[in-house]
Structure 1
Amino acid sequence: MTSLNVYSVLVVLFLTCGIVMATKENDQIIKENNCETKMGLPCVLEAFTRIFSTGSISNKCCGELVVLGKVCHSALVRRTLENPVFNDLNPATVIAKSIQTWNNCLALIDSPSPSA
């Protein structure tokens, strides 16, 4: 019985350390890359709504998202998912929407514009 309690404590400590390390890693990436200063607030809100709720993202904001960069984009989404406010969201669904949004924006920005 004691070994079960010790095992339980070790599992909890391991999981807690993993979460703390993930948070520090995301924060470090965000800080080192100045991620929070690369997009305007209106576009941050559009991207957030697209990824964490239901909405769309404009071509202008897709451009800002691509300039933000994939590393910043991924770190910001992961850090947001770590916030207890978002515990009711399915992380796999959010990450899938995040990747889809990134890929759609990248394709939109990389595609040649039609000539007039």
Structure 2
Amino acid sequence: MAILNVSSVLVALFLTCGAVMASKENDQVIKENNCESKMDFLCVLEAFTSILNTGSISNKCCSELVVLGKVYRSALVKRTLENPLFKDLNPATVIAKSIQKWNNCLALIDSPSLST
């Protein structure tokens, strides 16, 4: 049930793009790099569910996330934390988990077993 709630909130967040509550700096990074259209929506949900709840990120979604880059990931996480829907989350925990997922994706993408 919690996963459904997190997913519903994430859908609402991405559909509205968080423009009302997002800082100009984070929004600018995301818009200038056209990031939201470069990552499959299901991958965005998968990544955020793994960061805000539990689970892992698939190889496909890790690849998309890594291609977008660290700056995009950071801006998107910060923008999410500015949204009042996520006011009960501990920012330090979310940022730490986001970095952990990022590092896991980097290791997965750099893995020799993926290229063979």
Band the TM-score falls in, shorter-chain normalisation:
0.7 to 0.9
Shift, 1:114, TM fit? 6.6
User: Partners of 2:103 and 2:55 in 1: how far apart?
Assistant: 16
Question: What are the Cα deviations for residues 65-96 of structure 1, in whole angstroms up to 9, with x where unaligned?
Answer: 11111111110110000000000000000000
What is the identity, as a one-letter code, of the residue corresponding to 2:79? Answer: R
Question: Which residue pairs with 2:3 in the alignment?
Answer: none
TM-score by length of 2: 0.77
Tell me the percent identity: 81
Give RMSD over aligned pairs. 1.9
Question: Which residue pairs with 2:41 in the alignment?
Answer: 41
Distance 1:58 1:32, change over 3 A: same
What is the identity, as a one-letter code, of the residue corresponding to 1:81? Answer: L
Question: Which residue pairs with 1:100 in the alignment?
Answer: 100
Q: Which structure exhibits the higher relative contact order, with contacts defined as CA atoms closer than 8 Å and separated by 6 or more residues?
A: 2
The residue correspondences of 1:56-67 to structure 2 (distance < 5 A) are: 56-67=56-67
Distance 1:115 1:107, change over 3 A: closer
Distance 1:114 1:105, change over 3 A: closer
Shift, 1:38, TM fit? 1.3
User: Partners of 1:41 and 1:114 in 2: how far apart?
Assistant: 23
User: Partners of 2:74 and 2:115 in 1: how far apart?
Assistant: 33
Aligned length: 96
User: Where do 4+ consecutive residues of structure 1 move more than 6 Å?
Assistant: none
Question: Which residue pairs with 2:14 in the alignment?
Answer: none
User: Gaps spanning 5+ residues in structure 2: where?
Assistant: 1-21
Question: Which residue pairs with 1:23 in the alignment?
Answer: 23
Question: Which residue pairs with 1:73 in the alignment?
Answer: 73
Question: Which residue pairs with 2:9 in the alignment?
Answer: none
- Larger-Rg structure: 1
User: Partners of 2:67 and 2:42 in 1: how far apart?
Assistant: 15
TM-score by length of 1: 0.77
Distance 1:24 1:41, change over 3 A: same
